[in-house]
A and B are shown apart, each in its own frame.
Chain A
Amino acid sequence: GDSVTQMEGPVTLSEEAFLTINCTYTATGYPSLFWYVQYPGEGLQLLLKATKADDKGSNKGFEATYRKETTSFHLEKGSVQVSDSAVYFCAPTNYGQNFVFGPGTRLSVLP
């Protein structure tokens, strides 16, 4: 079945540091790729998505590029803020019914 490998962390960075969270996946067919973010005490919410090869999803300064040849969807941000402290989940999906989530990466950003 489909699966996701994601660095689990925790990742601790200083404010304004560069962030990379790696995500690789195995999936049948041609999935859409999502990153979700979970802030403390809340449910998951969509951060960004990409639906075909070489697409770049972006939101709130975060970016990720759909790399079909390496089955990867790494999340990056050039300058993190304290407010980015959260848990980040990588999730490939096929046709909206087979959602698979990575284990989540906890990010802590220190002032």
Chain B
Amino acid sequence: EAQVTQNPRYLITVTGKKLTVTCSQNMNHEYMSWYRQDPGLGLRQIYYSMNVEVTDKGDVPEGYKVSRKEKRNFPLILESPSPNQTSLYFCASSQAGVLNQPQHFGDGTRLSIL
């Protein structure tokens, strides 16, 4: 089954404690992206990657890091989380360079930073 898998689904942690949210896709997609979803603000892109070893900032990259060492994986790293990063996070993937292909989303990770 084609899917995007995020882990963990829920996490409560404290300010400053480094955390990683993993994302994996099994569709051989070149393009992967991270979004955060906040009430009243919709979806905002954090980082995206067009292919292995290629990453670019989205609209709200501050406080986040990503890496793309393998095509299937695109982890999101919070080196020193702060309460304003409490949010619902989504990973997505799609074919790159093809105009009419939609994104496939994971089920989300709800982070609470105390």
Contacts and interface: CB of A to CB of B under 8 A. Distances in A.
Give the interface SS of chain A, mostly helix, strand, loop or mixed. Answer: loop
B33 interface: yes
Interface in B15-31: 31
Contact of B99 (A44, A96, A102, A103): A96
A102 B37 CA distance: 12
A17 to B, nearest CB: 25
Interface string A39-67: 00111111001010000000000000000
Contacts of A46: 102-103
Contacts of A32: 99-100
Contacts of A24: none
Interface residues of B, number: 27
A103 B44 CA distance: 9
Given A32-B99, A32-B100, A103-B41, A96 B90 contact: no
Interface of B: 4, 31, 33, 35, 40-43, 45, 48, 50, 90, 92, 94-103, 105-108
11 contacts: A32-B99, A41-B108, A43-B4, A43-B105, A43-B108, A94-B99, A96-B96, A96-B98, A99-B45, A101-B42, A104-B42
